[in-house]
Structure 1
């Protein structure tokens, strides 16, 4: 048994002196990457040796700032368009390099994020005596997922020490054999340090990757229905992604080029909260929707599709936000018109939203991750998994 771990006590909600490997595809801008940033920094500052393993090249600069004590290992095998044969070879290369990286890190615990990465991690850890926890960060029922990956997920997830989802709805989607040990841990809200309110320019903000999932095409259609009624308001969609050309073409076809801005990713994480006056989430589905929670914590009135899952956990309709049926463009347009046209309503929603968001303070959510890690490490110690290689 490792001396650095065996001489320490694992409390009910705390751990000390562990080596932890966190596996995630990339460290760019996004909700999962933000969560990884919070957890990794928290554990590093608590005295653990944290290694981040990504598919990115070794020299890529993370979007979020990490504690200097954290080791970042880029495997140099990022996603890329290729033939089926090349894709298969690339998957094998990822598994091989991931396995080598895990062995070098000698972790007492491996925590993996996102479905395909979870599958790769479980394959890479086959035969290694280390507990692996997998975390689902999206809607498992609706996210695009090929039949081979689905088959691998069904076969491999039962091997994991445990499964983490952000909502009970997502967890209930998985069969019992995949959730023998399971945790529901919501996302924490963490606004940028030193942010300032620079509001009053009538900005309706939306944030997310420019993908089909985020429903910005539905948002553009909804905004086009109320744009003439509220000429003083403009829509700003923050984010980047493959759908940009199509969304820009749709915006221009709707005659909204002067009313809709798409400036890309903010220079620093979360700075969009400074200039927004109202926030809207138009996703077709979500795992959680961290930007919605960030908007609420920043004291913004919010309007959201009630997509599965996340928004319904955060918002109590008409109290701290407005929920509309998922995908209903007419209902979204009406709700946005209601909020944009009523300053008193915006103020009331903003005050209650900020109060509601305090339920997701980082210290509370991170204590749940501590409890999860403590459980895994205790089990590993009991089954003699905490042995130095």
Structure 2
């Protein structure tokens, strides 16, 4: 009998973790539940997808109302969630007996190595309270699993698995066929995308671009995304006199045409679980530069690798990529072909005991 699945996340913001859940929900014909509905920058959810929003207000109000919203799913379901605080909350509900359904939690990043101080302590408390209630913990890479087991020795490591992030190749190819805006059709550019937060290393990328600008006088750097670092990044652009050369494009619903038409696509992150946008870029562009910001990136064939948090290394990688006339498209496509959403969710359910 086909299992009854529910996918839960904090918001419907179009970030990597949420995109993973949407793909898995579509592949398994399951419902989505979000604690909060965002006003802008949300996932492009198809009209036939069953979705519920717990709150239009704050995330805190979403948490306070979540128990009631979970009532229809308390038994005979498999609940799949992402984000540590939410995972811990659901795990705690399992531990006290409110949830009888099985619980799968996905690690979206290695937060115990990413943060320090009070924030790290809050995660440690959340993990301790909730994660023992999870039936299965899904990590994206072997290094993430190793770190998880090291920091949480009280979790049975047999319940911690590795499952690579999914990518819907066909849908991304379709989205990439959309035309670029008229203002950007004739622009020569490289591009990057992600939340404007320190961990994404966009300041490193901007400084690296400053180093190559003279040898590529017509090239622009386009950065897509929103976040708290926008003001400081714009200030850096001004200090380096890169106005017009480096453009913060903000959030757009479909960056795929930009990925397709860029001279190169760049991942500049300092620390990641695994950057989902990297997979999208790899499908659409043969010239990919990435920092070694997550486990397994150094094993990807055909990409130009740079050290994380290193301006000189990223500068060298970008220069090499732009000056080398090589195409590794076949190698790259072989790497992503076994990452379909159907394989993703089937593999996880097979590991659930």
Normalised-by-shorter TM-score class: 0.7 to 0.9
Residue matched to 2:137: 163
Residue of structure 2 aligned with 1:153, choices 96, 119, 127: 127
RMSD: 2.5
Q: Give the 3 Å change call, closer, same or farther, for CA 375–328 of structure 1 in structure 2.
A: closer
- How many angstroms apart in 1 are the aligned matches of 2:49 and 2:244? 46
- How many angstroms apart in 2 are the aligned matches of 1:371 and 1:335? 35
SS of the equivalent of 1:24 reads: strand
Residue matched to 2:233: 247
- How many angstroms apart in 1 are the aligned matches of 2:279 and 2:86? 25
* Structure 2 segments unaligned to the other structure (5+ residues): none
1:186 is aligned to 2:167: no
- How many angstroms apart in 2 are the aligned matches of 1:187 and 1:57? 24
1:256 is aligned to 2:256: no
Q: CA deviation at 1:263?
A: 1.1
Residue matched to 2:51: 71
Residue matched to 2:176: 195
- How many angstroms apart in 2 are the aligned matches of 1:210 and 1:60? 15
Q: Give the 3 Å change call, closer, same or farther, for CA 260–157 of structure 1 in structure 2.
A: same
1:113 is aligned to 2:82: yes
1:25 is aligned to 2:10: yes
SS of the equivalent of 1:339 reads: helix
- How many angstroms apart in 1 are the aligned matches of 2:350 and 2:62? 29
Residue matched to 1:330: 312
Q: CA deviation at 1:194?
A: 4.7
Q: How many residues align?
A: 335
1:137 is aligned to 2:108: yes
TM-score by length of 1: 0.79
Residue matched to 1:124: 93
Q: CA deviation at 1:186?
A: 0.9
Residue matched to 1:341: 323
Q: CA deviation at 1:193?
A: 2.1
Q: CA deviation at 1:77?
A: 4.9
Determine if contact 2:270/2:293 at 8 Å carries over to the other structure. yes
SS of the equivalent of 2:174 reads: coil
Residue matched to 1:357: 336
SS of the equivalent of 1:174 reads: helix
Q: Give the 3 Å change call, closer, same or farther, for CA 57–239 of structure 1 in structure 2.
A: closer
Q: CA deviation at 1:267?
A: 2.9
TM-score by length of 2: 0.86
Residue matched to 2:193: 207
Determine if contact 2:286/2:329 at 8 Å carries over to the other structure. yes
Q: Give the 3 Å change call, closer, same or farther, for CA 24–283 of structure 1 in structure 2.
A: same
Q: CA deviation at 1:227?
A: 0.6
* Structure 1 segments unaligned to the other structure (5+ residues): 1-7, 9-15, 45-49, 80-89, 380-389
Q: Give the 3 Å change call, closer, same or farther, for CA 369–213 of structure 1 in structure 2.
A: same
Q: Give the 3 Å change call, closer, same or farther, for CA 201–112 of structure 1 in structure 2.
A: same
